[in-house]
Structure 1
Amino acid sequence: MEPDVIWEVLRPQPLLTDQLYGEWAAFLALAENKTETANHLRRFDEQRPAGQHHALTLARVDGQLVGVAETQVPRSHDKAGWYTLSLSVHPDWQGGELSQTLLSRAENQLPPDAAVVLATVREGEWQMAFLEAQGFAEYERMWTSTLDLQALSPIDFQHHTERAQQAGLRVLPLSEVADLSNESEQRRLYALMIHLLSEVPFAEPITPWPFETWKSRILDAPEFDAQGFFVLLSPAGEWIGVSELYRPDPSKLSTLHQGLTGVRREWRGLGGAWLLKLTAAAQAKARGYAAANTTNHTGNAPMLAINERMGFVRQQARVGLRREMRA
């Protein structure tokens, strides 16, 4: 017999209570083995534009959370009628009637214009088979990989860096090439980032954030580190590429996250990506970090090849699913 379930819907605008953020983070650790923090969940809500759809559907049994479904506007695909959904269910009830009801109730919270619903799941986890049975289909796949920095020997790849240097390319920390208190410098970096992201082979092109949103979510974020953000310079001093290292998650203080590494298309083939990746890795190793992780789309064969040769080890894939809500 199914337990007596108490259902609740929350719309975290302006914000949830500290107690609820803490309960939510603890539940994600139990249900998803996800090392999320209450502060991180709160910051996501603080960054959300006023009035933008965001709903949490909660299921409780005997006062304890057993299910959470979140619907919101995708951070990278802010298109009319597009929403994203995530399901987290207590291990004792995953995939059963409670999961089905949770999904149905969460979808009922979507605005009337909902046309496409996206979900990102880990390959092999229960959500993948469950959502595919509900009509979701895979549209993209991403690899998360981790590099053991202490085992990395940059000298083994010296021929790649020498090739870039012979072409007149240089890599410097952003802190040495830009005054980020100056808005014009901020916008220069923003323009480069948007251009580089437009050249990443996403299965679905991303929707660029407005400058103010990007500044709030990237430059003003506590994990942003101008010394760990590297810029590739042309012989004339143009900014032609980047590699991002972000300060670690509080739950994994020895592991940095490497975000975008990219080089403008017209400057590729000269070893610039290698110079960026190896410079960032060497700096992270020198600062005492044990590992760096990154995520790449399966269609980004050149970057995946570099990562594999450097020693990045692939982990569980993240799979993007989508379902059309109407014709």
Structure 2
Amino acid sequence: MTAPPPVPALVRAARPDDATGVVALRALVHPYLVRGVESTRRMISEPPPGEDWAAFVAEVDSTVVGWVSAYRHGHTSTAGSGEIAMLHVHPGHRGRGLGTALLGAALGHLAPLDLHRLRTWVSADSLPFAEKRGFVPSRAVRYALLDLRTPPPAPTTPTGVRTPALTELEPRRLYAAHVAASADEPGDVAADALGYETWCYEVWDNVGLDRHASSAVEVDGELVAFSLVKRDGDRIWSDMTATLPAYRGRGLARLAKLAALHRARTAGATHAYTSNDEANAPMLAVNTRLGYRPVATLWSSLRDLPPAGRA
């Protein structure tokens, strides 16, 4: 008996009502990435300012089976930096050219933007696909999981130190600390030009941000460290934990993260995820001490573009 022909796939621009399908796909392919439906819907309907952001889905029989987003990198002073974020295809629909079609849509969107270098994130099993298309693996990012049902010990706060939740903070204070603490963050793209509008969109006004769990550290009234938490149901994502350079080496990042983890656990979170560049030895050590265990590794991979920015 002859097998029926495969159902044709459609690659198109993402729509806000794709959010539920995109989140379901992400949970299957990258279960350690935490972004809820409402956060995803807002990202599609109200893209980040100034980044020329766009996303595309692959659809089979009205079901989202592939996703990719592409944009100008808005956190760096290095001109011409672009990103193709987390291209992924449902395991049951691979080998049909959907990844190639999604990548083509992303590259087509970026082509007029006069970009010189692209970065993307690639799992180990997808490195051959990426390398065949000109992306060269550069550095590893490790993803890890902490089971909050058996949490690390509650934090002990030294004299003169406070660990307020974000609900107690004015956003400009946190923004200033974020900029100062992230300027030397390891990576292929320097995070040295994060504007306040973009920061508000991605952090303070993000619908996934849990301001009650996210925690800061104040030493004698100065905000010197913080740990940001985004939440989707009983899962949380440590979006960033950092300390001002002058205050590093005192255990303040660990204190901020412990405070955030325990607040999230009290509010019903059961699993916490995080990621770190392989060169960020201090935070890797903090997370190991807290009890995080590795669950995945993705590779930051780079591709240079011709001078005109055409792929």
Q: 1:142 to 1:76 in 2, by over 3 A?
A: farther
Give the aligned residue type for 1:107.
Answer: L
1:316 and 2:308 aligned: no
Alignment partners' CA distance in 1, 2:293 and 2:61: 42
Find the counterpart in structure 1 of residue 108 from structure 2: 108
Aligned residues: 301
Task: Report the alpha carbon displacement of residue 308 of structure 1 after superposing the two structures with TM.
Answer: 0.6
- Asked whether the equivalents of residues 39 and 206 of structure 2 are also in contact (C-alpha less than 8 Å), the reply is no
Name 2:181's counterpart in structure 1.
Answer: 196
**C-alpha separation in 2, matches of 1:66 and 1:280:** 34
Tell me which amino acid in the other structure corresponds to 1:240.
Answer: V
| Distance in structure 2 (CA, Å) of the matches to 1:186 and 1:35 | 23
The answer for the alignment partner of 1:300 in structure 2 is 280
Alignment partner for residue 165 of structure 2, among 156, 169, 173?
Answer: 173
Secondary structure in structure 2 of the residue aligned to 1:48: coil
Aligned letter for 1:186?
P
**CA shift for structure 1 position 106:** 3.9
* C-alpha deviation, 1:319, in angstroms: 1.7
Going from structure 1 to structure 2, the CA distance change for 1:223 and 1:40 (only over 3 Å counts) comes to closer
Q: After alignment, is 272-281 or 302-311 more displaced?
A: 272-281
Per the alignment, residue 182 of structure 1 pairs with none
- 1:217 maps to which residue? 202
**Which whole-Å deviations, capped at 9, do the CAs of 1:2-31 have from their partners, x for residues lacking one?**
968566543x6xxx363x445555555666
Letter in 2 for 1:146: L
Partner of 1:276: 256
- Superposed, 1:178-257 pairs within 5 Å as 178=169, 185-234=170-219, 236-246=220-230, 248-249=231-232, 253-257=233-237
In 1, Cα distance between equivalents of 2:28 and 2:166: 38
User: Do 2:188 and 2:300's aligned partners in 1 also have CA atoms closer than 8 Å?
Assistant: no
Change (3 A) 1:45 1:169: same
SS at match of 1:111: helix
Query: Map of 1:258-269 to 2, 5 A cutoff?
Result: 258-269=238-249
- Aligned AA for 1:308? T
Kept after mapping to 1: 8 A contact 2:59/2:65: yes
Which structure's residues are more often helix, by fraction? 1
Provide closer, same or farther for how the CA distance between residues 128 and 221 of structure 1 changes in structure 2, counting only shifts above 3 A.
same
**1:4–1:262 distance in 2 versus 1, CA, 3 Å:** closer
CA shift at 1:40, angstroms?
2.8
Q: Give the match for residue 91 of structure 1.
A: 91
Quickly say closer, same or farther: Cα 1:315–1:115, change in 2 above 3 A.
Answer: same
Query: Structure 1 residues 4, 326: CA separation in 2 closer, same or farther (over 3 Å shift)?
Result: farther
Give the 3-state SS of the residue equivalent to 1:110 in structure 2: helix
Contact 1:169–1:272 under 8 Å retained in 2: no
Q: TM-score, normalised by structure 2?
A: 0.80
1:130-169 alpha-carbon deviations (Å, 9 max, x no partner): 01122211223211211122323416xx7xx4xx726x43
Shift of 1:303: 1.2
Moved more, 86-95 or 212-221: 86-95
Q: How does 1:126-137 map to 2 (within 5 A)?
A: 127-137=126-136
Overall identity of the aligned pairs, in %: 28
Match of 2:163, SS state, is strand
Residue-by-residue CA offset, 1:199-236 (whole Å, 9 max, x unaligned): 322332125332122223322222323322222122x3
The correspondence of residues 76-87 of structure 1 with structure 2, limited to 5 A, is: 76-77=75-76, 80-85=79-84, 86-87=86-87
Q: Which runs of 5+ in 1 are unaligned?
A: 179-184
One-letter amino acid of the structure 1 residue matched with residue 191 of structure 2: I
Any conservation in 2 of the 1:47–1:216 contact (CA below 8 Å)? Answer: no
1:29 to 1:219, Cα distance in 2 relative to 1, 3 A: closer
- Supply the AA of the counterpart residue of 2:173: R
Residues 198, 26 of structure 1: CA spacing in aligned structure 2 closer, same or farther, 3 A cutoff? same
What residue in structure 1 maps to residue 121 of structure 2? 120
Alpha-carbon distance in 1 for matches of 2:68, 2:81: 17
Distance 1:27 1:274 in 2: 33
Match of 1:181 in 2: none
| Cα distance in 2, alignment partners of residues 315 and 31 from structure 1 | 13
What is the alpha-carbon root mean square deviation over aligned residues? 3.3
Q: Larger Cα Rg: Structure 1 or Structure 2?
A: 1
Specify whether residues 274 and 60 from structure 1 end up closer, same or farther in structure 2 by C-alpha distance, changes over 3 A only: closer
